[in-house]
């Protein structure tokens, strides 16, 4: 396992990782802060606001970023993806079905749909969203429960040198920075109570950045949870028939060689460099927790990032490219209002002013319903016509608004808006919306990639740890009348290389389209596709109860032999089939 490190060395490593990430991601965090500011409507530069305030000019904020982002996030929420484990080999279909049930159970129990939706929102606004796959011991203090939760992107620092979307491919570390209640910290780390209570964390808060915010530091301590990888060279004994692997210690190497020689090809020895996941939790100059291989063979970081646009390591959200058009729109509308305010009360012309009537005009001339007496003014009173509203400023602001729709992808096609002068059918509008989705397809595709990585992480946690006990797994799959060999479920070769994770849309529209397709096929093959298949694929609230009544009836019916089709029937089948697939 390598030479154990001292506590000082562990603290130094975490601080070095944090400093490297903080410097490498500084520009990214600046863009992230600006993205969130623009989403909530803070869109003016401080210098411009100060100048307008001194000149007593308006500073309007016409926040078009808010509805654009809400539209894209609404599409994600209405078209949520179901994670499905698909067997790569026919003999593992049952295994894949079991993993699918466990995945869905985990996602349902942790309200993962809401957590992933919040992660999506963070990403499109601030360039990056984060999900955490952790173990919660609140309800189960022995084995714990898997929990999926959204993490603030401002709390995360990852290896800036990792240039792949999947952080596990080349990333060295990922750190979560959080503020933990002092009382909770003492209870969670009782062995450190003496060091914590003596104030060792706050000896030099300025240099160690332990408390940072003085007010927040009165009740909480700043804690950094660092997950980092080391590498070890191991000797592995592999069963060539089953793929089973076992690590061989140096003192057992001679015995292992003897086994390999006697087995005649059944066993092989191989040198293997393997990554090892480490968890180090620090607060100031204290190491609160340090665990090597905390999840017993899981090597993936328990944090998963969503990047809407990923260009060779450069991360970008949807809001970033809307900064310029949004500010241009605000300035043009503000200038148009300023011009209107200046010319609204344009004044009056009189030939000769008597009886201090000029003061009367200055005081009441702009009052609604004011009555002006020409005789008192000394001559004819004529209002000066105000200048018309600046069409140039309004046109420029409209151009900026249209630019924002085109840049973000939330254009007329995606919105499904009617084209002026055209009478379109609902099908035509639907096709235009589908075409509009292609503009933002990269965003949704990357989010599906993040969900896939999360699902693979859940599968690994089930295989390598006891977070799901055998009894829990049996109870979950019993609801679907499935059964599985528990040893097969956690076998390294089968579990790792025998399955793949796919996603399918769970939106009501997609489910309805699937149901209607099955309905059409059932009309063509009523003997092969019974009512239980239609019920299972429907959205009826009480379908389980209906299935229990339908299945016994279906079992007692004698299967009828299919009658040979005539040429006319075959021709009709061909036409029906073409209609369905088209």
What is the per-residue pLDDT for 431? Answer: 61
Place of tokens 């209609």: 579
What tokens appear for 545 in the block? 């109860």
The full DSSP string for 465-513 is SSSS-HHHHHHHHHTTT----HHHHT-HHHHHHSEEEEEEE--HHHHHH
Q: Longest Cα pair distance anywhere in the chain, in angstroms?
A: 127
**pLDDT tens series, the chain, 582 aa:** 456 778 889 999 999 999 999 999 999 999 999 999 999 999 999 999 999 999 889 999 999 999 999 989 988 888 887 788 887 655 577 788 888 888 888 888 888 999 999 999 999 999 999 999 998 877 777 778 889 999 999 999 999 999 899 999 999 999 999 988 888 888 888 888 777 776 555 444 334 444 455 566 667 888 999 999 999 888 888 887 766 777 788 788 888 888 888 877 788 888 888 899 999 999 888 899 999 999 988 999 999 999 999 998 899 999 999 999 999 999 999 988 888 777 666 666 666 665 666 666 666 666 665 666 666 666 666 666 666 666 777 788 888 888 888 888 776 666 555 445 555 555 555 566 666 677 888 999 999 999 999 998 998 898 888 888 888 888 887 766 566 777 777 665 554 545 566 666 655 555 666 777 787 788 888 777 777 777 777 766 666 677 667 665 555 444 455 555 555 554 444 444 334 333
Q: Could you tell me which of 179, 161, 157, 180 has the C-alpha nearest to residue 169? A: 161
- Indicate the pTM of the whole model: 0.77
What tokens appear for 177 in the block? 């920075």
Q: Could you tell me which of 133, 115, 180, 123 has the C-alpha nearest to residue 153? A: 123
Distance CA 454, CA 115 (A): 12
Exposed e or buried b for every residue in 301-330, given b needs 16+ CB within 10 A?
A: bbbbbbbbbbeeeebbbbbbebbebbbbbb
What tokens appear for 382 in the block? 């004529």
Distance CA 201, CA 157 (A): 22
Q: Could you tell me which of 239, 298, 292 has the C-alpha nearest to residue 269? A: 239
Please list the alpha-helical segments (H only) found in 79-179. 93-109, 112-126, 167-170
- 99 with 286: CB under 8 angstroms? no
Paired with 349 in beta bridges are 382
In the chain, where are the structural domains located?
28-165+309-343+388-506, 176-306, 517-581
Angle among Cα 421, 427, 433 to the nearest 5 degrees reads 80
Rg (CA), the chain: 34
Paired with 235 in beta bridges are 248, 271
């Amino acid at each position: 396992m390598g030479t154990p490190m001292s506590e000082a060395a562990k603290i130094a490593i975490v601080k070095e990782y944090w400093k490297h990430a903080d410097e490498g991601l500084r520009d990214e965090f600046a863009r992230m802060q600006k993205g969130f500011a623009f989403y909530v409507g803070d869109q003016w530069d401080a210098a411009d606001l100060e100048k307008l305030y001194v000149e007593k000019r308006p500073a309007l904020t016409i926040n078009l970023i808010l509805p654009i982002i809400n539209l894209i996030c609404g599409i994600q929420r209405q078209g949520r993806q179901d994670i499905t484990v698909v067997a790569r080999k026919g003999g593992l279909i049952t295994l894949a079905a079991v993993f699918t049930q466990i995945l869905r159970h985990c996602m349902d129990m942790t309200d993962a749909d809401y957590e992933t939706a919040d992660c999506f929102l963070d990403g499109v606004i601030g360039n990056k969203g984060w999900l955490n796959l952790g173990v919660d011991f609140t309800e189960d203090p022995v084995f714990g429960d898997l929990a999926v939760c959204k993490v603030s992107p401002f709390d995360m620092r990852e290896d800036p040198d990792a240039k792949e979307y999947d952080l596990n491919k080349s990333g060295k570390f990922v750190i979560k920075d959080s503020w933990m209640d002092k009382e909770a910290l003492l209870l969670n780390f009782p062995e450190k109570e003496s060091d914590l209570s003596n104030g060792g964390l706050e000896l030099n808060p300025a240099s160690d950045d332990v408390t940072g915010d003085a007010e927040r530091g009165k009740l909480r301590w700043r804690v950094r949870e660092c997950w980092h990888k080391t590498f070890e060279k191991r000797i592995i004994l592999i069963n060539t028939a089953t793929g089973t692997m076992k690590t061989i210690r140096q003192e057992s190497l001679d015995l292992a060689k003897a086994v390999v020689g006697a087995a005649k090809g059944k066993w092989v020895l191989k040198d293997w460099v393997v990554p090892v996941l480490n968890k180090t939790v620090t607060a100031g100059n204290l190491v609160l927790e340090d665990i090597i291989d905390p999840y017993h063979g899981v090597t993936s970081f328990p944090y998963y990032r969503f990047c809407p646009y990923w260009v060779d390591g450069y991360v970008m959200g949807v809001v970033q490219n809307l900064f310029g058009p949004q500010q241009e729109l605000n300035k043009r509308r503000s200038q148009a209002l300023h011009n209107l305010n200046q010319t609204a009360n344009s004044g009056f012309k009189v030939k000769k002013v008597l009886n201090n009537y000029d003061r009367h005009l200055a005081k009441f001339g702009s009052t609604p319903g004011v009555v002006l007496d020409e005789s008192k003014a000394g001559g004819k009173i004529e209002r000066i016509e105000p200048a018309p509203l600046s069409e140039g400023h309004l046109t420029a602001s409209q151009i900026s608004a249209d630019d924002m729709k085109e840049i973000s992808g939330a254009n007329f096609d995606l919105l499904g808006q009617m084209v002026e002068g055209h009478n379109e059918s609902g099908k035509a509008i639907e096709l235009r919306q589908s075409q509009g989705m292609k503009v933002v397809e990269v965003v949704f595709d990357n989010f599906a990639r993040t969900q896939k990585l999360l699902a693979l992480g859940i599968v690994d946690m089930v295989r390598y740890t006891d977070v799901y006990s055998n009894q829990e797994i049996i109870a979950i799959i019993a609801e679907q009348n499935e059964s599985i060999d528990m040893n097969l479920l956690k076998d390294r070769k089968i579990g790792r290389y025998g399955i793949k994770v796919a996603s399918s849309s769970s939106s009501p529209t997609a489910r309805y389209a699937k149901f209607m397709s099955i309905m059409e096929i059932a009309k063509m093959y009523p003997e092969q596709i019974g009512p239980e298949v239609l019920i299972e694929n429907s959205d009826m609230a009480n379908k389980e109860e209906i299935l229990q009544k339908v299945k016994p009836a279906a079992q007692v019916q004698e299967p009828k032999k299919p009658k040979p089709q005539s040429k006319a029937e075959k021709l009709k089948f061909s036409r029906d089939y073409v209609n369905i697939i088209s």
